[in-house]
Structure 1
Amino acid sequence: MKTDFKFSNLCGTVYSKGNLVFSPDGNSILSPVGNRVTVFDLVNNRTETLPFENKRNIRRLALSPRGNILLSVDELGSALLINYRKRTVLHYFNFKGKVRDIQFSPDGKYFVVGLGRHVEIWRSPGYTKEFAPFELHQKLPGHYDDITHISWSPDSRFFLTSGKDMTTKVYSVDSMEDYTATTLTGHRATVIGSWFSKDMRAVYTVSADGAVCVRRFRVRGVEENLLFGEFPVDEEGKLLPTMWFTEHRYYTGTISNVQSAAFNPASSILVLGMTNGVFGIWEMPDFNQIHTLSISRKKINTVAINPSGEWLAFGSAKLGQLLVWEWQSETYVLKQQGHFYDMSCVGYSADGQYVATGGDDSKLKVWNALTGYCFITFADHTSAVTALQFTKGNQVVLSASLDGTVRAYDLVRYRNFRIFTSPTPVQFNSLAVDPSGEIVCAGCLDTFEIYMWSMQTGKLLDVLSGHEAPISSLAFRPDGLSLASSSWDKTVRLWDVFDRTKVVERLEHGHEVLALAYRPDGKELCASTLDGQIHFWDVAKAAPTGTIEGRRDIAGGRKTGDKVTADNTSSGKSFNSLCYSADGTAVLGGGNSMYVCLYDRRSSILLRKFQITKNQSLDGVQVKLNSKLMTEAGSADLIDSDGIDSDTEKQADRSLPGVKSGDKSNRLLKPEARTRDVKFSPTGRQWAAASSEGLLIYSLDETMVFDPYELDEDVTPDTIRDLSRKGDHLRALVNGFRLNEKYLIREVYEAVPPLDVVLLTKDFPEAYLERLLKFIADIIESSQLLEYHLRWISGLLSNHGTFVKARSAALQPVLRTLQRGIARLHQDIGSVCDKNHYMMDYLLIQGKRVAEAKEEESGDITMNDLLSSFNDGDEFETDGEFDEDDTMDVDSASAPSAAAAATSV
């Protein structure tokens, strides 16, 4: 089994805090998710989490105008310089202060950083590795209070800074004679943002109380507005005294305060996000209200507008919500929201195409493993979801909850079609479904019983009693013959659910059992105990076969409130979730720690140790704590000294003016780094972990791995291409797999004539069969040669069925990957056919009408007759499928072929 799993994507969390940034083309949006950055492709409907981490949660993002350089700054001012196109980190830098805002100039030569009350201008670094890429251009005195917003002028010569001191300052990048920074006053609350107009004849400022000011630039005593930057001079060449004045003052008229704002100079659109979840769009400079909409129940923390001004992005940190709204058509481009609280469980569908997550917020979400998008959310439970599982057919997902119900959801019609309950109220914390999908079992915390229902009728079939403590986990044997249950009473019991006369097997352990899992072949079972050990049992003999000591491997870091070191603490040193790999050769385990461990079953050794996060904003990440951070009020990490991250900032900060340490009673809650559940994908290509950061997905990346198989000196790319040109396709394909270069394999694979596929599959060596099936599974979703691939699959499985059946356990991951690809293509083609169904009906009816008309005239039907009738666009009517007012728009490129089909019919 390959163990080079790499971090692939982060789902389940779409926005945490900070600002949103659109790409220069406006088709993607960058969102800070904890200490990572997720890119949402709004055109291709895909998500990508960039493969780097900041030390702490990200507070500000800045992308250069060309999209080459990305600056990611965390809460304490540590920044990453990233080559955005290549997804590589170029440099680490510390601004030595909390960054309030950071913005690139429109020409990309400079970027401005607001550090507390001061402003620093830096020259933009290159997008290659340098020894010292950051060069300070100028450091300017700032406001009397913290800076809240920075924006540039269109010509990149000036920039505006807004602050909590209710003022806006106008700075020049380069020193200019007789020019000093100008301060614009007049607001009575914190200035949220300020911007130049496109023609630089006005400055728009917005404050938290909803006041919007339009300011103009002119010469003193002259009532003619000037273009800022072209300063007038007198006859002697001296600058004339100029001034800014407030031309208009507007108010939003809402009872809530303004939390965030954005302005698009190209379209002169001003967007304001309120604290009550309402946003408004106004056209400047006349402040004409265009639209107002409530999109969230909590405050809108950030607003962004794409360069063309068509799409608006909103982020709500309290709900973890990210929305992209097209204001002209009033439709959602993107609407995603993560779990409000931690994820508690995760499950893969049988083909690995979908991932379902349950959370403490009583919601069940289903994600597309390929795109990373959540496409359905079920909120029927009234308490935390504790366990979930897909049925074998991928059309039903079941979830157990602490509210005492087990619910079955239909993934075709997206509805809850079955509710399983117990005679007395209990709390379910484990769930299992037999392979046939007919029997549903759930274990409870309080009565220590296992309830069994029928999926078809929903009736309670039986109650399995015997455990003397809460049941921690349930698992059906892959063949469906028995049910295994683990409990805190230090036992694992094997139940025969179809024959109750048999004796229940008891597997005794020395400590409380926390989790269990069956091997895919059903011959072995593993269970984790509270002392950090993993025990393996032979199911047929009910005898132990091995033990893995994982206490030191799973041990996490030291928590902020711990009085003892990480080595001496006993918390978090056990596995609360186990899972076998798809081929059964490895075991994956996770617990209340920042580590996930992968063990080899045969040798019982640690293969790899994955650290799910390096985010120091979480508790339990650091092994040693810094004693300098300890104060008389507790750890400094738990005290919000500046109030920037507090929801009740104005009410919480009651410190006297001049106090540097802030209000010591204003503490924060640091979430703990832990893994609640881990699952391997049935395809064996990836695994997922439900962690405090979100749904982490790790997958195999073989693009840069050279892994030859039975390689000889004569096997080279040139000789392989020569064999393919000569028509010896079988040898060329086999040698391609021996060299194992994917581009070369695809070249000789697609060079095989379609009529020769059936003959090649008969003589294809069985030693390379698994590699060929895996190769087809990898390219089938991205290739257009659908019929060609299906010929290969059909021929291989028909001619080598005995070999596939004999090695079904080893080939199961590959076959599941094939099933997922074919199912996805079937779904895509089905949707296209459904869209064209009515168009074909219309063409057939038009053909019949033309035929009837020609019969009356005793003439022949020609293609021109049908096309002319098709292009007439007459109203039509069918047997109950269309109304007489319906019309159909058809692509002109498809009209001749469709008309020909109608003529032949």
Structure 2
Amino acid sequence: IDPTMQDVPQLEVQGVFGFSGHVFSGLTVHPSGEHLIYPLGSIIILQRIKDGKQEFLHGHTNNISCISVSKSGSYIASGQVNFMGFKAVVIIWDYVQRTIYAQLQLHKAKVEALDFSPSDNYLVSLGGQDDGSIVVWNIKTKQAICGSPASAFSGGLCFTVQYSNTNDDIFVSAGSGTLRVWELDLLNRKIKPTECQTGKLKRIVKCLAITEDDQFIFCGTTSGDIMKINLKTRLLTDCGPVKTKFSLGVNVLRILKSGNLLVGSGCGTLTLCAGKFKTLKEVQLDKGVTSIALKGEGQQYFVGTEAAQMYRFSYDDFKAELISSSHKSAVRDVAVCAGTSELFATCSEEDIRLWHVDKPIELLCITVPNITCNSLEIMTDGHSIISAWSDGKIRVFTPESGQLMLIIHDAHKIGVTAIAGTRNSKRIVSGGGEGQVRIWELQPNNHKLLATMKEHKAAIKCIKIKSDDKECVSASSDGACIIWDIVQLVSLQMVIANTLFRTVCYHPDIYQIITSGTDRKVVYWDVFDGSAIREVEGSKSGAINGMAISQDGRHFVTGGDDRLLKVWDYMEGVVTHLGMVHGGSITSIKLCCNNSTLISTSADGAIVRWRFPHPSSS
């Protein structure tokens, strides 16, 4: 963080909706049974199971790729993915203090998997595809003890690593054509591998589970079967199920106290199996199962899926209770309902979701497969959601049922990239990838194109309509913002800067607009003559992607690639409050009409609800 921001008051977080469902075994329960622990972008969320209260661990500079909690619960370890050529850090966190205990750096580009030894003395880490090494770390000294290539042959990929439950000197690694039991020789600072013998059975192992007494290793494979290996003899003892294999492979395994197995598959089935792989119970979830987290003795467990959903199960009834759902990819835009501060909508790849401000489960999910929704708005009358899609169509949905009310085909050639609706809910202004701005009139069950205005040379990134419905402003990545008369259908003014514009706002009372983009500057412009009035540095690093202004015009909010949400005093041009929760680039920001709730979204799929610190005096 910029040192000048150290003393700026923090924004109060009211809730974070989001879960990185693609991180395998990313959802865990702390041994105390008090918290769910899971990654979201570059942060770790500790969510109290009792009441949903959240805490956040910050320290990673890029997306978290794996997570592990020590057997005692004293430590959490997390690894990240990084850019090629850079080292990927492993962070050990002190759970009680909620602070960084150690930062460990040896692996290149990505940390694939982590696990603690049973007595918390050691941590084993596995590097990703570009690294291919296993390292054992001493937790007390915060130093590496030794390392080794994970696979016996060059190019052999290793996907997972699991420590013994009783012995600090034994752990297992597995992957494509490799399944090894390792012994730590502390005196000589070496780890010695022994290959497990599986005979003619050749499998790619995705996940491991070791029985509590360390007698057997269960290996989930991409082929959809499970191998059972004797840990002492390193020999294959069983493999199944023989007839009905798990579709799209076994992603995650957990062994219950009874000896039964919980199996999560790539097709989304969660199965309770007897020791001989016979199915006892099964339930179908949305998308592949990526995490199974046991609470206590396993009477209750939590399941995470690739659809970024979390479920709660009890062992007895084996019924899925959806406790959290979120976007599985970057959230592109957020829209708030004009008449109420209860509802807001977000859009992402393939879907639009409608949310209640206080609850993390969506009220409605509208899905359009294989197409990305770039922008959306809830019309002022509350009767429709207008949306801009990458296939060049504008789609209008009802907010109550999600039913498609209207579709405008071929609205823009290179996708619809921005959209806005007038206050009287009769017109739509849209922007496209080709740089056109188009004005549409909504008619009962139909639409009419009123104008096509082409002055921009590149994609339109943002459109805002003035409160009197007579003007709009379009911001483009060609470095121009154009103010349009949407009654006479002509351009009124153009402002040009050496930047790719990402966002623009009208000041509600004075004839000014504020803009921002890739040059990291916030610029105030005079609407009449297009002159720059003022310029402030909006960010020390990375583009500013989203901006919102309060109804009284006294404050505005910015957010971008630096992941910081900043509340500004409009007249003073200084930051009054700072929000530091997002684990990915902030993509959009909206202020609810009560002027006390702020919603921001980010590229890691997160939606964050904040208390806006300057409620309107009116």
Q: TM-score range by the shorter chain?
A: 0.7 to 0.9
Matched, 1:283 2:274: yes
Matched, 1:363 2:351: yes
Secondary structure, in 3 states, of the residue corresponding to 2:350?
Answer: coil
Cα deviation for residue 205 of structure 1 reads 3.0
Alpha-carbon distance between aligned partners in 1 of 2:300 and 2:97, rounded to the nearest angstrom: 26
1:36 alignment partner in structure 2: 43
Specify which of 113, 120, 138 is matched with residue 136 of structure 2: 120
Q: Residues 667-708 of structure 1, C-alpha deviation per residue, up to 9 Å, x if partnerless?
A: xxxxxx755433334444454444323336373599xxxxxx
How many pairs were matched up? 574
Alpha-carbon distance between aligned partners in 1 of 2:566 and 2:270, rounded to the nearest angstrom: 46
Matched, 1:601 2:591: no
Letter in 2 for 1:4: P
1:152 alignment partner in structure 2: 164
Q: Summarize the Cα distance change of 1:15–1:194 in structure 2 as closer, same or farther, 3 Å threshold.
A: closer
Secondary structure, in 3 states, of the residue corresponding to 2:617?
Answer: helix
| Alignment check: 8 A CA contact 2:107 2:133 kept | no
| Alignment check: 8 A CA contact 1:364 1:378 kept | yes
| Alignment check: 8 A CA contact 1:576 1:590 kept | yes
| Alignment check: 8 A CA contact 1:216 1:244 kept | yes
Specify which of 84, 89, 93 is matched with residue 78 of structure 1: 89
Secondary structure, in 3 states, of the residue corresponding to 1:343?
Answer: coil
Alpha-carbon distance between aligned partners in 1 of 2:412 and 2:151, rounded to the nearest angstrom: 60
Q: Residues 8-54 of structure 1, C-alpha deviation per residue, up to 9 Å, x if partnerless?
A: 4654553342433122355653222232223455554x473614131
2:406 alignment partner in structure 1: 419
Once structures 1 and 2 are overlaid, which stretch shifts more, 593-602 or 346-355? 593-602
Alpha-carbon distance between aligned partners in 1 of 2:344 and 2:333, rounded to the nearest angstrom: 11
| Alignment check: 8 A CA contact 1:680 1:688 kept | yes
Alpha-carbon distance between aligned partners in 2 of 1:607 and 1:340, rounded to the nearest angstrom: 32
Q: Summarize the Cα distance change of 1:584–1:4 in structure 2 as closer, same or farther, 3 Å threshold.
A: farther
Cα deviation for residue 378 of structure 1 reads 1.0
| Alignment check: 8 A CA contact 1:10 1:694 kept | no
Q: Summarize the Cα distance change of 1:684–1:453 in structure 2 as closer, same or farther, 3 Å threshold.
A: same
Q: Summarize the Cα distance change of 1:73–1:597 in structure 2 as closer, same or farther, 3 Å threshold.
A: same
Q: Residues 109-166 of structure 1, C-alpha deviation per residue, up to 9 Å, x if partnerless?
A: 434414566563745x6xxxxxx6x488x7698975458331433x567754243464
Cα deviation for residue 272 of structure 1 reads 3.3
Alpha-carbon distance between aligned partners in 2 of 1:85 and 1:366, rounded to the nearest angstrom: 36
Alpha-carbon distance between aligned partners in 1 of 2:410 and 2:291, rounded to the nearest angstrom: 48
| Alignment check: 8 A CA contact 1:203 1:214 kept | yes
1:894 alignment partner in structure 2: none
| Alignment check: 8 A CA contact 2:45 2:57 kept | no
| Alignment check: 8 A CA contact 1:166 1:185 kept | no
Q: Residues 63-97 of structure 1, C-alpha deviation per residue, up to 9 Å, x if partnerless?
A: 23454432223345633332335533344344667
Alpha-carbon distance between aligned partners in 2 of 1:391 and 1:543, rounded to the nearest angstrom: 31
1:855 alignment partner in structure 2: none
1:535 alignment partner in structure 2: 524
Letter in 1 for 2:254: F
Letter in 2 for 1:163: A
Q: Summarize the Cα distance change of 1:609–1:41 in structure 2 as closer, same or farther, 3 Å threshold.
A: closer
Matched, 1:64 2:70: yes
1:266 alignment partner in structure 2: 257
1:821 alignment partner in structure 2: none
Alpha-carbon distance between aligned partners in 1 of 2:40 and 2:252, rounded to the nearest angstrom: 21
Look at both structures and tell me which one has the larger radius of gyration over its CA atoms: 1
**Length-normalised TM-score, structure 2:** 0.74
Q: Summarize the Cα distance change of 1:100–1:6 in structure 2 as closer, same or farther, 3 Å threshold.
A: same
| Alignment check: 8 A CA contact 1:193 1:261 kept | yes
Matched, 1:4 2:6: no
Q: Summarize the Cα distance change of 1:65–1:374 in structure 2 as closer, same or farther, 3 Å threshold.
A: farther
Specify which of 507, 525, 537 is matched with residue 519 of structure 1: 507
Correspondence 1:389-538 to 2 at 5 A: 389-392=377-380, 396-411=384-399, 413-416=400-403, 418-419=405-406, 421=408, 428-435=416-423, 438-445=425-432, 448-454=436-442, 457-460=444-447, 463-464=450-451, 468-469=455-456, 473-478=462-467, 480-486=468-474, 490=480, 492-493=482-483, 495=485, 497=487, 506-510=492-496, 515-521=503-509, 524-527=512-515, 534-537=523-526
Alpha-carbon distance between aligned partners in 2 of 1:430 and 1:504, rounded to the nearest angstrom: 19
| Alignment check: 8 A CA contact 2:10 2:577 kept | no
Name which structure has the greater RCO, CA cutoff 8 Å, separation 6+. 2
Q: Residues 414-464 of structure 1, C-alpha deviation per residue, up to 9 Å, x if partnerless?
A: 32263253797765433333445x324122435945334347x34436714
| Alignment check: 8 A CA contact 1:482 1:495 kept | yes
More strand by share: 2
Q: Which residues of structure 2 form unaligned runs of 5+? A: 1-6, 82-86, 127-131, 153-157
| Alignment check: 8 A CA contact 1:281 1:290 kept | yes
Q: Summarize the Cα distance change of 1:370–1:395 in structure 2 as closer, same or farther, 3 Å threshold.
A: farther
Alpha-carbon distance between aligned partners in 1 of 2:310 and 2:368, rounded to the nearest angstrom: 22
Q: Residues 221-261 of structure 1, C-alpha deviation per residue, up to 9 Å, x if partnerless?
A: xxxxxxxxxxxxxxxxxxxxxx6876555445427674433
Secondary structure, in 3 states, of the residue corresponding to 2:25?
Answer: coil
Alpha-carbon distance between aligned partners in 1 of 2:103 and 2:323, rounded to the nearest angstrom: 33
Alpha-carbon distance between aligned partners in 1 of 2:209 and 2:605, rounded to the nearest angstrom: 36
Q: Residues 640-659 of structure 1, C-alpha deviation per residue, up to 9 Å, x if partnerless?
A: xxxxxxxxxxxxxxxxxxxx
| Alignment check: 8 A CA contact 2:596 2:612 kept | no
Secondary structure, in 3 states, of the residue corresponding to 1:399?
Answer: strand
| Alignment check: 8 A CA contact 1:258 1:272 kept | no
Correspondence 1:256-335 to 2 at 5 A: 258-284=249-275, 286-292=276-282, 295=285, 300-311=289-300, 313-315=302-304, 324=312, 328-334=316-322
Correspondence 1:224-263 to 2 at 5 A: 248-253=238-243, 254=245, 258-263=249-254
1:692 alignment partner in structure 2: 603
Q: Which residues of structure 1 form unaligned runs of 5+? A: 126-131, 218-242, 558-571, 616-672, 703-769, 775-809, 813-905
2:590 alignment partner in structure 1: 679
Letter in 2 for 1:578: M
| Alignment check: 8 A CA contact 2:329 2:604 kept | no
| Alignment check: 8 A CA contact 2:412 2:436 kept | no
Q: Residues 357-397 of structure 1, C-alpha deviation per residue, up to 9 Å, x if partnerless?
A: 222x2311234444444443211487432322234576754
Alpha-carbon distance between aligned partners in 1 of 2:253 and 2:587, rounded to the nearest angstrom: 39
**Length-normalised TM-score, structure 1:** 0.53
Aligned alpha-carbon RMSD (Å): 4.7
